Amino acid sequence: MAAVYQALHRRASSLLCRLHSTYVRKMRYLNKLKEDDSLCRQAQTSGTFYLFHNLSPFLQKAGRKYLVPQLSAAEMRRILEKSPEAEQWMEESVLVGCSDEHIPHFALDLGALEKSVIESELQGSFTDLQKALFVVDGKDSPLLASAQSLLRWHDSHQYCSKTGQPTQKNPAGSKRVCQASGITYYPQVSPVVITLVSDGSRCLLARQPSFPPGMFTALSGFCDVGETVEEAVRREVAEEVGLEVESLLYSASQHWPFPSGSLMLGCHALVGAQQAEISMDSLELEEARWFGLEEIVEGLKREPRSSKQDDGSSLPWFPPKQAIAHQLIREWVRQQSAQA
């Protein structure tokens, strides 16, 4: 019996290994490109490039769809050939991924070149990221978001904060080094907790004055230095709405490029139904209130445009599906419906 079990186990492991091998090989190749500068330089000559202009990604419209084109190295050279510093431009690109066949993908910001010339030559347009994320295919938005965050980090970390000397990026763009001090800088990510608070039968959503009219979302806040995710959730909920979290459950995470690259850690939190009176921090929030299941279900069907009423006010609507807040709200609806 044990032998049969072992044989089955070996078979399952080898199957799993074969299934995973494409992924594992891909991750190891990407890691090698980050560590081996000459391999990465060589990879740039056969890679593909996503274009940005002052951090806005380049999109092409095809019918009703928006595509995110990848240019070959030859096409890149053709675009850059009029520029006196073409080689230097390629050096500025950052590694953002690779295909299963190990074709590396880079992103490059051509902010110093004339935008309209590139747009007319390539028949597309550089589009604000906030808009781009919501019109491109779902599989392209995480790539655009992380590529922009990485390009932004390089743009704003050109100098060593200790010596004031210029820092040099490695070809993959996974770090910058100050030759004078020997300090290595790595791209920064700020952890942010986003929490959907529930009292068992209602969930709590809030809005900041800067939000578009009618939009409500889950509570969020940057983690402090030294804080755990659990502590950050408890503190943010206490600070923003004056409630004490009794228990919390991690759900999922998402990279969010605004304002400069956050790792959103999505959680569900429960507060006691008897102590559910909101005391809102009006410095940050304009409104915070409880929503019942029916109102949430209606709000999920609503779009920003259809939320406007004749008297100028807006009915509540929630962030679109690309935002982790949307996923947390949907999860809560599923959980409530299952309980009913």
Tell me which residues touch Mg ion (CB under 5 A). Answer: 220-221
Question: 207-246 burial, b if ≥16 CB within 10 A, otherwise e?
Answer: beeeeeebbbbbbbbebeeebebeebbbbbbeebbebebe
Determine contact, residues 201/228, Cβ cutoff 8 Å.
Answer: no
Give the pairing of strands 48-53 and 71-72.
antiparallel
Q: CB count, 10 Å around CB of 299?
A: 19
Q: Min. distance of Cβ 246 from Mg ion in angstroms?
A: 20
Q: Does 243 bind ligand NAD (CB under 6 A)?
A: no
Q: Which of ligand NAD, Mg ion, none does 190 bind, CB closer than 5 to 8 A by kind? A: ligand NAD
- Interface residue with ligand NAD, options 107, 129, 204, 324 (CB under 6 A): 324
Q: Which residues within the stretch 96-115 sit at the binding site for ligand NAD (CB under 6 A)?
A: none
DSSP state of 336: H
Determine the Cα–Cα distance for residues 277 and 207; give it in Å rounded to an integer. Answer: 17
- Stretch of 4-12, 21-29, 132-140, 258-266 contacting ligand NAD, by CB under 6 A: 258-266
Q: Min. distance of Cβ 219 from Mg ion in angstroms?
A: 6
- Stretch of 7-15, 55-63, 93-101, 214-222 contacting ligand NAD, by CB under 6 A: 214-222
Q: Which residues within the stretch 11-50 sit at the binding site for ligand NAD (CB under 6 A)?
A: none
x/- mask, ligand NAD, residues 301-320, rule CB under 6 A, reads ------------------x-
Give the pairing of strands 48-53 and 104-109.
parallel
Q: Which of Mg ion, ligand NAD, none does 256 bind, CB closer than 5 to 8 A by kind? A: ligand NAD
Q: Which is nearer to ligand NAD, 111 or 221 (CB)?
A: 221
What are the strands, taking DSSP E only, across the chain? 48-53, 56-62, 65-67, 71-72, 94-98, 104-109, 125-126, 168-169, 176-177, 184-185, 190-198, 202-207, 219-222, 247-256, 262-270, 287-292
Q: Min. distance of Cβ 282 from ligand NAD in angstroms?
A: 13
Residues that bind ligand NAD (CB under 6 A): 190, 192, 194, 217, 220-222, 254, 256, 258-259, 262, 264, 284, 319, 323-325
